[in-house]
Protein backbone atom coordinates (compact mmCIF):
# COMPACT_ATOMS: atom_id res chain seq x y z
CA UNK A 1 0.00 0.00 0.00
CA UNK A 2 1.31 3.43 -0.97
CA UNK A 3 2.22 5.74 1.88
CA UNK A 4 3.08 9.41 2.15
CA UNK A 5 6.80 10.27 1.74
CA UNK A 6 7.59 6.95 0.07
CA UNK A 7 9.84 7.12 -3.01
CA UNK A 8 9.12 5.25 -6.24
CA UNK A 9 10.33 5.00 -9.82
CA UNK A 10 7.51 5.09 -12.36
CA UNK A 11 6.61 5.93 -15.94
CA UNK A 12 4.09 8.66 -16.79
CA UNK A 13 1.42 6.93 -18.89
CA UNK A 14 -1.19 9.67 -19.38
CA UNK A 15 -2.02 13.34 -18.76
CA UNK A 16 -4.89 14.57 -16.59
CA UNK A 17 -7.06 17.53 -17.60
CA UNK A 18 -5.27 19.47 -14.83
CA UNK A 19 -1.99 19.02 -16.74
CA UNK A 20 -0.55 16.62 -14.16
CA UNK A 21 1.14 13.49 -15.43
CA UNK A 22 -0.42 10.18 -14.33
CA UNK A 23 1.59 7.20 -13.09
CA UNK A 24 0.13 3.92 -11.86
CA UNK A 25 1.61 2.36 -8.74
CA UNK A 26 -0.01 -0.69 -7.10
CA UNK A 27 -3.03 -0.08 -9.36
CA UNK A 28 -3.48 3.44 -7.95
CA UNK A 29 -3.42 6.59 -10.08
CA UNK A 30 -0.64 8.93 -8.94
CA UNK A 31 -0.80 12.54 -10.18
CA UNK A 32 2.57 14.23 -10.66
CA UNK A 33 2.80 17.99 -11.26
CA UNK A 34 5.03 19.15 -14.17
CA UNK A 35 5.45 15.58 -15.40
CA UNK A 36 5.20 14.70 -19.09
CA UNK A 37 3.68 11.63 -20.69
CA UNK A 38 6.55 9.24 -21.44
CA UNK A 39 8.82 10.48 -18.60
CA UNK A 40 10.46 7.85 -16.39
CA UNK A 41 10.71 9.48 -12.97
CA UNK A 42 11.80 9.14 -9.40
CA UNK A 43 8.91 10.54 -7.38
CA UNK A 44 7.99 11.17 -3.75
CA UNK A 45 4.41 10.63 -2.57
CA UNK A 46 3.03 13.85 -1.02
CA UNK A 47 -0.62 12.93 -0.47
CA UNK A 48 -2.64 9.70 -0.41
CA UNK A 49 -6.41 9.36 -0.82
CA UNK A 50 -8.60 6.29 -1.20
CA UNK A 51 -8.74 6.50 -5.01
CA UNK A 52 -5.59 8.42 -5.95
CA UNK A 53 -2.31 9.89 -4.73
CA UNK A 54 -0.19 12.95 -5.49
CA UNK A 55 3.58 13.05 -5.89
CA UNK A 56 6.43 15.43 -6.67
CA UNK A 57 9.34 14.84 -9.03
CA UNK A 58 12.65 14.11 -7.34
CA UNK A 59 14.52 13.23 -10.51
CA UNK A 60 13.80 12.80 -14.22
CA UNK A 61 15.57 9.51 -14.94
CA UNK A 62 14.63 9.40 -18.63
CA UNK A 63 12.83 12.39 -20.16
CA UNK A 64 9.91 11.90 -22.52
CA UNK A 65 10.33 12.56 -26.23
CA UNK A 66 7.52 15.11 -25.75
CA UNK A 67 9.34 17.04 -23.02
CA UNK A 68 10.94 20.40 -23.78
CA UNK A 69 12.64 23.11 -21.75
CA UNK A 70 10.09 25.74 -20.60
CA UNK A 71 10.93 29.23 -21.86
CA UNK A 72 9.62 30.93 -18.70
CA UNK A 73 11.99 31.14 -15.70
CA UNK A 74 9.10 30.92 -13.18
CA UNK A 75 7.22 28.08 -14.90
CA UNK A 76 7.50 25.76 -11.89
CA UNK A 77 6.08 28.40 -9.52
CA UNK A 78 3.58 30.47 -11.51
CA UNK A 79 0.06 29.09 -11.96
CA UNK A 80 -0.43 30.65 -15.40
CA UNK A 81 0.88 27.82 -17.59
CA UNK A 82 0.64 24.08 -17.00
CA UNK A 83 1.89 22.61 -20.30
CA UNK A 84 4.88 24.78 -21.27
CA UNK A 85 7.20 21.79 -20.71
CA UNK A 86 5.35 19.75 -23.37
CA UNK A 87 5.90 19.88 -27.13
CA UNK A 88 3.18 22.00 -28.76
CA UNK A 89 2.01 19.30 -31.20
CA UNK A 90 1.51 17.00 -28.21
CA UNK A 91 -0.41 19.77 -26.39
CA UNK A 92 -2.91 19.85 -29.27
CA UNK A 93 -3.38 16.08 -29.07
CA UNK A 94 -3.89 16.29 -25.31
CA UNK A 95 -6.56 18.97 -25.65
CA UNK A 96 -8.55 16.86 -28.09
CA UNK A 97 -8.28 14.04 -25.55
CA UNK A 98 -9.45 16.33 -22.72
CA UNK A 99 -12.60 17.16 -24.72
CA UNK A 100 -13.19 13.52 -25.66
CA UNK A 101 -12.81 12.34 -22.07
CA UNK A 102 -15.20 15.00 -20.74
CA UNK A 103 -17.90 14.26 -23.31
CA UNK A 104 -17.71 10.48 -22.94
CA UNK A 105 -16.91 10.06 -19.23
CA UNK A 106 -18.80 13.00 -17.73
CA UNK A 107 -21.56 13.44 -20.32
CA UNK A 108 -21.81 9.73 -21.24
CA UNK A 109 -22.28 10.89 -24.83
CA UNK A 110 -22.06 8.65 -27.87
CA UNK A 111 -19.69 10.33 -30.33
CA UNK A 112 -19.74 7.57 -32.95
CA UNK A 113 -21.96 9.54 -35.35
CA UNK A 114 -20.19 12.89 -34.84
CA UNK A 115 -17.26 14.29 -36.79
CA UNK A 116 -14.55 14.94 -34.18
CA UNK A 117 -11.81 17.13 -35.66
CA UNK A 118 -8.22 17.60 -34.50
CA UNK A 119 -7.51 20.66 -32.36
CA UNK A 120 -6.88 23.84 -34.35
CA UNK A 121 -3.55 25.20 -33.13
CA UNK A 122 -1.38 28.28 -33.65
CA UNK A 123 1.64 28.73 -35.90
CA UNK A 124 3.36 30.74 -33.16
CA UNK A 125 1.91 29.77 -29.75
CA UNK A 126 3.36 32.65 -27.73
CA UNK A 127 2.61 36.35 -27.04
CA UNK A 128 -1.01 35.68 -28.00
CA UNK A 129 -2.97 37.26 -25.13
CA UNK A 130 -4.57 40.67 -25.66
CA UNK A 131 -5.59 40.86 -21.98
CA UNK A 132 -3.28 40.57 -18.98
CA UNK A 133 -4.47 40.82 -15.36
CA UNK A 134 -1.76 41.27 -12.72
CA UNK A 135 -2.62 41.15 -9.00
CA UNK A 136 -0.52 43.53 -6.89
CA UNK A 137 0.42 42.89 -3.27
CA UNK A 138 3.23 42.71 -0.75
CA UNK A 139 5.97 40.16 -0.18
CA UNK A 140 6.60 38.71 3.27
CA UNK A 141 9.20 41.42 3.87
CA UNK A 142 6.69 44.17 3.02
CA UNK A 143 8.04 45.04 -0.43
CA UNK A 144 5.55 45.66 -3.24
CA UNK A 145 5.20 43.01 -5.93
CA UNK A 146 3.03 42.14 -8.90
CA UNK A 147 2.70 39.21 -11.26
CA UNK A 148 0.53 36.08 -11.31
CA UNK A 149 -0.77 33.85 -8.57
CA UNK A 150 1.02 30.60 -7.82
CA UNK A 151 -1.06 27.51 -8.60
CA UNK A 152 -3.95 26.90 -6.18
CA UNK A 153 -3.11 29.96 -4.06
CA UNK A 154 -3.19 33.74 -3.91
CA UNK A 155 0.56 33.99 -3.39
CA UNK A 156 1.90 36.39 -6.01
CA UNK A 157 4.83 35.22 -8.13
CA UNK A 158 6.74 38.31 -9.27
CA UNK A 159 7.58 38.54 -12.96
CA UNK A 160 9.36 40.96 -15.25
CA UNK A 161 7.90 39.59 -18.49
CA UNK A 162 5.09 37.11 -19.15
CA UNK A 163 5.57 35.28 -22.45
CA UNK A 164 1.82 34.91 -22.98
CA UNK A 165 1.27 38.64 -23.59
CA UNK A 166 2.98 41.65 -25.14
CA UNK A 167 6.08 42.84 -23.27
CA UNK A 168 4.33 46.22 -22.99
CA UNK A 169 1.86 44.75 -20.46
CA UNK A 170 4.67 43.61 -18.15
CA UNK A 171 6.36 47.01 -18.54
CA UNK A 172 3.10 48.66 -17.43
CA UNK A 173 3.20 46.50 -14.30
CA UNK A 174 6.75 47.65 -13.53
CA UNK A 175 5.69 51.28 -14.05
CA UNK A 176 2.70 50.97 -11.69
CA UNK A 177 4.81 49.42 -8.94
CA UNK A 178 7.48 52.11 -9.41
CA UNK A 179 4.78 54.80 -9.10
CA UNK A 180 3.44 53.15 -5.93
CA UNK A 181 6.88 53.06 -4.31
CA UNK A 182 7.66 56.69 -5.17
CA UNK A 183 4.29 57.97 -3.94
CA UNK A 184 3.88 55.71 -0.91
CA UNK A 185 0.75 54.03 -2.33
CA UNK A 186 -0.33 50.85 -0.55
CA UNK A 187 -1.26 47.51 -2.11
CA UNK A 188 -4.59 45.88 -1.33
CA UNK A 189 -4.67 43.21 1.36
CA UNK A 190 -7.44 40.67 0.65
CA UNK A 191 -7.70 39.33 4.19
CA UNK A 192 -7.87 42.73 5.91
CA UNK A 193 -9.76 44.49 3.06
CA UNK A 194 -7.29 47.37 3.41
CA UNK A 195 -4.83 49.00 1.06
CA UNK A 196 -5.44 50.73 -2.25
CA UNK A 197 -4.16 49.15 -5.49
CA UNK A 198 -5.65 45.74 -6.25
CA UNK A 199 -4.74 44.90 -9.85
CA UNK A 200 -3.40 46.14 -13.14
CA UNK A 201 -5.46 45.13 -16.17
CA UNK A 202 -3.96 45.70 -19.64
CA UNK A 203 -5.80 45.28 -22.95
CA UNK A 204 -4.16 45.49 -26.38
CA UNK A 205 -5.64 45.57 -29.88
CA UNK A 206 -3.95 43.17 -32.31
CA UNK A 207 -4.96 45.07 -35.42
CA UNK A 208 -5.67 48.57 -34.07
CA UNK A 209 -2.43 48.61 -31.99
CA UNK A 210 -4.34 50.49 -29.29
CA UNK A 211 -3.70 49.70 -25.65
CA UNK A 212 -5.60 50.31 -22.42
CA UNK A 213 -4.27 50.25 -18.84
CA UNK A 214 -6.82 49.84 -16.05
CA UNK A 215 -5.80 50.20 -12.39
CA UNK A 216 -8.30 48.57 -10.05
CA UNK A 217 -8.37 50.23 -6.63
CA UNK A 218 -10.07 49.84 -3.26
CA UNK A 219 -11.11 53.48 -3.17
CA UNK A 220 -12.15 56.42 -5.34
CA UNK A 221 -8.80 57.93 -6.34
CA UNK A 222 -5.03 57.63 -6.21
CA UNK A 223 -2.55 60.19 -4.89
CA UNK A 224 -0.65 62.12 -7.56
CA UNK A 225 -2.57 60.50 -10.41
CA UNK A 226 -0.76 62.60 -13.02
CA UNK A 227 2.51 60.98 -11.99
CA UNK A 228 1.01 57.57 -12.70
CA UNK A 229 -0.17 58.75 -16.12
CA UNK A 230 3.30 60.12 -16.90
CA UNK A 231 4.95 56.84 -15.85
CA UNK A 232 2.71 54.82 -18.14
CA UNK A 233 3.00 57.19 -21.09
CA UNK A 234 6.79 57.08 -20.89
CA UNK A 235 6.94 53.32 -21.51
CA UNK A 236 8.54 52.23 -24.76
CA UNK A 237 5.50 50.68 -26.44
CA UNK A 238 6.76 49.72 -29.90
CA UNK A 239 3.82 49.60 -32.33
CA UNK A 240 1.29 50.00 -29.51
CA UNK A 241 -0.38 53.30 -28.69
CA UNK A 242 -1.50 53.69 -25.06
CA UNK A 243 -4.86 55.24 -25.86
CA UNK A 244 -6.61 54.83 -22.52
CA UNK A 245 -5.69 54.92 -18.81
CA UNK A 246 -8.58 54.17 -16.48
CA UNK A 247 -9.18 53.93 -12.75
CA UNK A 248 -11.56 51.10 -11.88
CA UNK A 249 -13.29 51.46 -8.51
CA UNK A 250 -13.74 48.18 -6.68
CA UNK A 251 -14.16 48.90 -2.96
CA UNK A 252 -16.24 45.79 -2.25
CA UNK A 253 -14.91 42.78 -0.39
CA UNK A 254 -14.70 40.35 -3.30
CA UNK A 255 -12.29 38.71 -5.73
CA UNK A 256 -13.74 40.23 -8.89
CA UNK A 257 -11.14 41.42 -11.37
CA UNK A 258 -12.97 44.72 -11.85
CA UNK A 259 -15.73 46.70 -10.17
CA UNK A 260 -18.60 48.26 -12.11
CA UNK A 261 -17.44 51.92 -12.00
CA UNK A 262 -14.69 53.37 -14.20
CA UNK A 263 -13.08 56.81 -14.37
CA UNK A 264 -10.91 57.82 -17.30
CA UNK A 265 -7.57 59.36 -16.33
CA UNK A 266 -6.20 59.73 -19.83
CA UNK A 267 -7.44 59.30 -23.38
CA UNK A 268 -10.55 57.34 -24.30
CA UNK A 269 -13.02 55.29 -22.25
CA UNK A 270 -12.54 52.31 -24.59
CA UNK A 271 -10.32 51.03 -27.38
CA UNK A 272 -11.25 49.25 -30.58
CA UNK A 273 -9.99 46.24 -32.49
CA UNK A 274 -10.82 44.34 -35.67
CA UNK A 275 -12.21 40.80 -35.57
CA UNK A 276 -13.46 38.79 -38.55
CA UNK A 277 -13.35 41.96 -40.65
CA UNK A 278 -15.52 43.96 -38.22
CA UNK A 279 -14.63 46.85 -35.90
CA UNK A 280 -15.35 46.29 -32.20
CA UNK A 281 -15.30 48.81 -29.36
CA UNK A 282 -13.93 47.23 -26.19
CA UNK A 283 -14.38 48.81 -22.75
CA UNK A 284 -12.75 47.63 -19.49
CA UNK A 285 -15.71 45.45 -18.45
CA UNK A 286 -16.43 44.04 -21.90
CA UNK A 287 -15.96 40.33 -22.56
CA UNK A 288 -13.62 40.02 -25.52
CA UNK A 289 -11.77 36.80 -26.33
CA UNK A 290 -8.12 36.97 -25.23
CA UNK A 291 -6.61 35.37 -28.35
CA UNK A 292 -7.85 37.29 -31.41
CA UNK A 293 -6.04 35.12 -33.99
CA UNK A 294 -7.64 31.93 -32.67
CA UNK A 295 -10.96 33.69 -32.01
CA UNK A 296 -11.30 34.32 -35.74
CA UNK A 297 -10.79 30.60 -36.37
CA UNK A 298 -13.30 29.73 -33.63
CA UNK A 299 -15.99 32.15 -34.81
CA UNK A 300 -15.51 31.23 -38.48
CA UNK A 301 -15.99 27.60 -37.43
CA UNK A 302 -19.20 28.52 -35.57
CA UNK A 303 -20.56 30.45 -38.57
CA UNK A 304 -19.61 27.61 -40.92
CA UNK A 305 -21.39 25.07 -38.67
CA UNK A 306 -24.55 27.22 -38.77
CA UNK A 307 -24.62 27.23 -42.60
CA UNK A 308 -26.38 30.59 -42.73
CA UNK A 309 -27.91 31.38 -46.13
CA UNK A 310 -29.30 34.88 -45.61
CA UNK A 311 -32.85 33.98 -44.68
CA UNK A 312 -32.54 32.64 -41.14
CA UNK A 313 -33.40 34.14 -37.76
CA UNK A 314 -30.52 33.72 -35.29
CA UNK A 315 -30.51 33.93 -31.48
CA UNK A 316 -27.14 34.54 -29.82
CA UNK A 317 -27.15 33.85 -26.07
CA UNK A 318 -24.37 35.24 -23.84
CA UNK A 319 -23.47 37.54 -26.76
CA UNK A 320 -20.99 39.81 -24.94
CA UNK A 321 -20.15 42.84 -27.09
CA UNK A 322 -21.82 41.21 -30.07
CA UNK A 323 -18.88 39.45 -31.70
CA UNK A 324 -20.69 36.30 -32.88
CA UNK A 325 -23.95 38.22 -33.39
CA UNK A 326 -22.42 40.70 -35.83
CA UNK A 327 -20.45 38.00 -37.65
CA UNK A 328 -23.70 36.07 -38.08
CA UNK A 329 -25.63 39.20 -39.14
CA UNK A 330 -23.62 39.36 -42.36
CA UNK A 331 -25.18 36.03 -43.41
CA UNK A 332 -28.59 36.01 -41.66
CA UNK A 333 -31.90 37.87 -42.02
CA UNK A 334 -32.26 38.74 -38.33
CA UNK A 335 -30.01 38.36 -35.28
CA UNK A 336 -31.00 38.76 -31.62
CA UNK A 337 -28.24 39.03 -29.02
CA UNK A 338 -28.70 38.53 -25.26
CA UNK A 339 -26.22 39.49 -22.53
CA UNK A 340 -26.53 40.24 -18.80
CA UNK A 341 -23.77 42.91 -18.70
CA UNK A 342 -25.39 46.25 -19.53
CA UNK A 343 -22.15 47.89 -20.69
CA UNK A 344 -21.46 44.98 -23.05
CA UNK A 345 -24.89 45.45 -24.67
CA UNK A 346 -24.18 49.16 -25.11
CA UNK A 347 -20.90 48.19 -26.78
CA UNK A 348 -22.75 45.67 -28.97
CA UNK A 349 -25.22 48.31 -30.14
CA UNK A 350 -22.39 50.76 -30.82
CA UNK A 351 -20.48 48.04 -32.67
CA UNK A 352 -23.51 47.35 -34.87
CA UNK A 353 -23.71 51.05 -35.78
CA UNK A 354 -19.94 51.25 -36.30
CA UNK A 355 -20.15 48.43 -38.84
CA UNK A 356 -23.37 49.56 -40.52
CA UNK A 357 -25.27 46.45 -39.42
CA UNK A 358 -29.02 47.03 -39.11
CA UNK A 359 -30.41 43.51 -38.78
CA UNK A 360 -29.10 42.87 -35.25
CA UNK A 361 -30.91 43.76 -32.03
CA UNK A 362 -29.73 43.32 -28.46
CA UNK A 363 -31.37 42.72 -25.08
CA UNK A 364 -29.91 43.21 -21.60
CA UNK A 365 -30.73 40.46 -19.13
CA UNK A 366 -29.84 36.94 -18.08
CA UNK A 367 -30.00 34.24 -20.72
CA UNK A 368 -32.61 32.33 -18.71
CA UNK A 369 -34.94 35.36 -18.33
CA UNK A 370 -34.68 36.73 -21.87
CA UNK A 371 -34.79 33.35 -23.61
CA UNK A 372 -38.01 32.51 -21.76
CA UNK A 373 -39.54 35.92 -22.62
CA UNK A 374 -38.61 35.50 -26.29
CA UNK A 375 -40.14 32.02 -26.24
CA UNK A 376 -43.34 33.42 -24.70
CA UNK A 377 -43.47 35.98 -27.54
CA UNK A 378 -43.36 33.16 -30.06
CA UNK A 379 -39.78 33.55 -31.26
CA UNK A 380 -38.77 30.56 -33.35
CA UNK A 381 -35.12 30.98 -34.40
CA UNK A 382 -33.59 28.76 -37.06
CA UNK A 383 -30.18 28.77 -35.37
CA UNK A 384 -29.19 29.39 -31.75
CA UNK A 385 -25.62 30.23 -30.80
CA UNK A 386 -24.75 29.72 -27.14
CA UNK A 387 -21.41 30.85 -25.71
CA UNK A 388 -21.76 30.74 -21.90
CA UNK A 389 -19.13 31.42 -19.21
CA UNK A 390 -17.11 28.57 -17.65
CA UNK A 391 -20.01 27.51 -15.43
CA UNK A 392 -22.00 26.66 -18.57
CA UNK A 393 -25.68 27.30 -19.07
CA UNK A 394 -28.65 26.34 -16.86
CA UNK A 395 -31.73 24.18 -17.21
CA UNK A 396 -34.12 27.13 -17.65
CA UNK A 397 -32.15 28.42 -20.65
CA UNK A 398 -31.54 24.97 -22.11
CA UNK A 399 -35.22 24.12 -21.74
CA UNK A 400 -36.19 27.37 -23.50
CA UNK A 401 -33.81 26.45 -26.33
CA UNK A 402 -35.43 23.04 -26.65
CA UNK A 403 -38.91 24.59 -26.67
CA UNK A 404 -37.88 27.03 -29.41
CA UNK A 405 -36.85 23.95 -31.41
CA UNK A 406 -34.24 25.53 -33.71
CA UNK A 407 -32.94 23.49 -36.62
CA UNK A 408 -29.38 23.93 -35.34
CA UNK A 409 -27.64 24.75 -32.07
CA UNK A 410 -24.02 25.90 -32.18
CA UNK A 411 -22.47 25.66 -28.71
CA UNK A 412 -19.16 27.44 -28.04
CA UNK A 413 -17.55 26.40 -24.77
CA UNK A 414 -14.42 27.18 -22.75
CA UNK A 415 -15.01 24.34 -20.27
CA UNK A 416 -15.30 20.73 -21.52
CA UNK A 417 -16.86 19.57 -18.22
CA UNK A 418 -19.85 21.95 -18.30
CA UNK A 419 -20.08 21.47 -22.07
CA UNK A 420 -20.53 17.74 -21.47
CA UNK A 421 -23.27 18.37 -18.90
CA UNK A 422 -25.20 20.75 -21.17
CA UNK A 423 -24.83 18.58 -24.28
CA UNK A 424 -26.22 15.64 -22.31
CA UNK A 425 -29.33 17.74 -21.58
CA UNK A 426 -29.71 18.93 -25.18
CA UNK A 427 -29.22 15.48 -26.72
CA UNK A 428 -31.77 14.03 -24.28
CA UNK A 429 -34.12 16.74 -25.57
CA UNK A 430 -33.99 15.55 -29.17
CA UNK A 431 -30.76 16.88 -30.67
CA UNK A 432 -27.93 14.91 -32.26
CA UNK A 433 -24.24 15.72 -32.03
CA UNK A 434 -22.89 16.31 -35.53
CA UNK A 435 -19.53 18.12 -35.32
CA UNK A 436 -16.96 18.77 -32.58
CA UNK A 437 -14.06 21.17 -33.15
CA UNK A 438 -11.54 21.91 -30.36
CA UNK A 439 -9.64 25.18 -30.79
CA UNK A 440 -6.48 26.00 -28.85
CA UNK A 441 -7.19 29.51 -27.59
CA UNK A 442 -4.75 29.18 -24.69
CA UNK A 443 -1.43 27.53 -25.71
CA UNK A 444 0.78 26.24 -22.89
CA UNK A 445 -2.22 25.98 -20.55
CA UNK A 446 -4.72 23.16 -19.99
CA UNK A 447 -7.64 25.28 -21.20
CA UNK A 448 -9.32 24.50 -24.51
CA UNK A 449 -12.19 26.09 -26.40
CA UNK A 450 -14.63 23.91 -28.31
CA UNK A 451 -17.31 24.49 -30.95
CA UNK A 452 -20.08 21.90 -31.26
CA UNK A 453 -22.89 21.54 -33.79
CA UNK A 454 -26.17 19.92 -32.77
CA UNK A 455 -29.03 19.32 -35.22
CA UNK A 456 -32.68 18.66 -34.42
Over the stretch 68-100, which tens digit does the pLDDT of each residue have? 999 999 998 888 899 999 999 999 999 999 999
pLDDT tens by residue, 154-189? 889 998 899 999 999 999 999 999 999 999 999 999
Let me know whether 295 and 425 are in one domain. yes
Task: Give pLDDT, residue 446.
Answer: 96
Let me know whether 385 and 413 are in one domain. yes
| Residue 195 covered by a domain | yes
What angle do helix axes 167-182 and 225-233 make, rounded to 10 degrees? Answer: 150
Active site residue 414: yes
Let me know whether 363 and 235 are in one domain. no
Cβ atoms within 10 Å, residue 56? 14
Let me know whether 420 and 445 are in one domain. yes
Residues in the chain: 456
State the virtual CA torsion across 453, 363, 247, 226 in degrees, nearest 10.
110
Domain boundary among the residues 216, 245, 275 is at 275
Instruction: Reduce the secondary structure of the chain to three states and give it as a string.
Output: CCCCCCEEEEECCEECCCCCEEEEECCEEEEECCCCCCCEEEEEEEEECCCEEEEEEEEEEECCCCECCCCCCCCCCECCCCCCCECHHHHHHHHHHHHHHHHHHHCCCCCCCCEECCCECCCCCCCCECEEEEEEEECCCCCEEEEEEECCCCCEEECCCCCCECHHHHHHHHHHHHHHHHCCCCECECCCCECCEEEEEEEECCCCCEEEEEEEECCCCCCCHHHHHHHHHCCCCCCCEEEEEEEEECCCCCCCCCCCEEEEEEECCCEEEEECCEEEEECCCCCCCCCHHHHHHHHHHHHHHHCCCCCCEEEEECCCCCHHHHHHHCCCCEEEEEECCHHHHHHHHHHHHHCCCCCEEEEECCHHHHHHHHHHCCCCCCEEEECCCCCCCCHHHHHHHHHHCCCEEEEEECCHHHHHHHHHHHHHCCCEEEEEEEECCCCCCCCCEEEEEEEC
Residues 6+ apart with CB under 8 A from 8: 2, 23, 25, 30, 42, 43, 45, 55
| Residue 426 covered by a domain | yes
Structural domain including 376 reads: 93-123+291-455
**CA 379 to CA 393: how far, in whole Å?**
20
pLDDT mean over 422-448: 97
| Residue 74 covered by a domain | no
Give the model's confidence band at 1: pLDDT under 50 very low, under 70 low, under 90 confident, else very high: confident
pLDDT mean over 137-163: 89
Q: Whose CA is closest to 39, among 22, 60, 69?
A: 60
Let me know whether 363 and 312 are in one domain. yes
Task: Give pLDDT, residue 371.
Answer: 87
Cβ atoms within 10 Å, residue 453? 24
**CA 440 to CA 293: how far, in whole Å?**
10
| Residue 70 covered by a domain | no
Residue 379 has pLDDT above 90, yes or no: no
Give the model's confidence band at 344: pLDDT under 50 very low, under 70 low, under 90 confident, else very high: confident
Domain boundary among the residues 275, 310, 327 is at 275
Residue 260 has pLDDT above 90, yes or no: no
What angle do helix axes 395-404 and 416-428 make, rounded to 10 degrees? Answer: 40
Residue 375 has pLDDT above 90, yes or no: no
Residues 6+ apart with CB under 8 A from 386: 317, 318, 367, 393, 397, 401, 409, 410, 411, 412
Instruction: State the sign of the Cα–Cα–Cα–Cα dihedral 87, 92, 95, 97.
Output: negative
What angle do helix axes 416-428 and 88-101 make, rounded to 10 degrees? Answer: 40
| Residue 72 covered by a domain | no
Judge contact between 430 and 456, C-beta under 8 A. Answer: yes
Q: Bigger pLDDT: 79 or 426?
A: 426
Let me know whether 379 and 257 are in one domain. no
Let me know whether 307 and 433 are in one domain. yes
| Residue 198 covered by a domain | yes
**CA 268 to CA 165: how far, in whole Å?**
22
Percent of the chain with pLDDT over 90: 86
- CATH number, domain of 401, equals 3.40.50.150
Give the mean pLDDT of the chain: 94
Residue 6 has pLDDT above 90, yes or no: yes
**CA 128 to CA 83: how far, in whole Å?**
15
| Residue 315 covered by a domain | yes
**CA 330 to CA 273: how far, in whole Å?**
18
Let me know whether 265 and 196 are in one domain. yes
Ranges 54-58, 175-179, 368-372: which has the least confidence: 368-372
| Residue 264 covered by a domain | yes
**CA 434 to CA 406: how far, in whole Å?**
15
Domain boundary among the residues 275, 302, 332 is at 275
Residue 28 has pLDDT above 90, yes or no: yes
Cβ atoms within 10 Å, residue 93? 17
Let me know whether 416 and 343 are in one domain. yes
Let me know whether 28 and 175 are in one domain. no
Residue 191 has pLDDT above 90, yes or no: no
- CATH number, domain of 26, equals 2.40.50.140
Let me know whether 389 and 259 are in one domain. no
Residue 343 has pLDDT above 90, yes or no: no
- CATH number, domain of 140, equals 2.40.50.1070
- What number of CA atoms fall less than 13 Å from residue 77's CA on the CB side? 10
Let me know whether 315 and 247 are in one domain. no
> Which one of 414, 450, 451, 455 is the catalytic residue?
414
pLDDT mean over 305-313: 96
Residue 295 has pLDDT above 90, yes or no: yes
Overall domain count for the chain: 3
Give the model's confidence band at 238: pLDDT under 50 very low, under 70 low, under 90 confident, else very high: confident
Amino acid sequence: MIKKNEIYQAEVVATASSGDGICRIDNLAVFVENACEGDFLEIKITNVKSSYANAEILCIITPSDYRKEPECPVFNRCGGCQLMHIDYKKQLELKKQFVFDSLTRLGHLDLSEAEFFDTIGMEKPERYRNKMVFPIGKKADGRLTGGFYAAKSHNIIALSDCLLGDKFASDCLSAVISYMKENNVSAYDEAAHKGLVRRLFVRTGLYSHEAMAVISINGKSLPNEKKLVDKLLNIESGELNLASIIININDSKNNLVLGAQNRTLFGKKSIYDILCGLDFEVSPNSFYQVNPMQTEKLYNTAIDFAELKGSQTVLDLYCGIGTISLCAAKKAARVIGVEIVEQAIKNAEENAKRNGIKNAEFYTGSAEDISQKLLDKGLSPDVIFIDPPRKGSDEVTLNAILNMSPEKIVYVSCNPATLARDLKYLTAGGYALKKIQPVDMFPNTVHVECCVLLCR
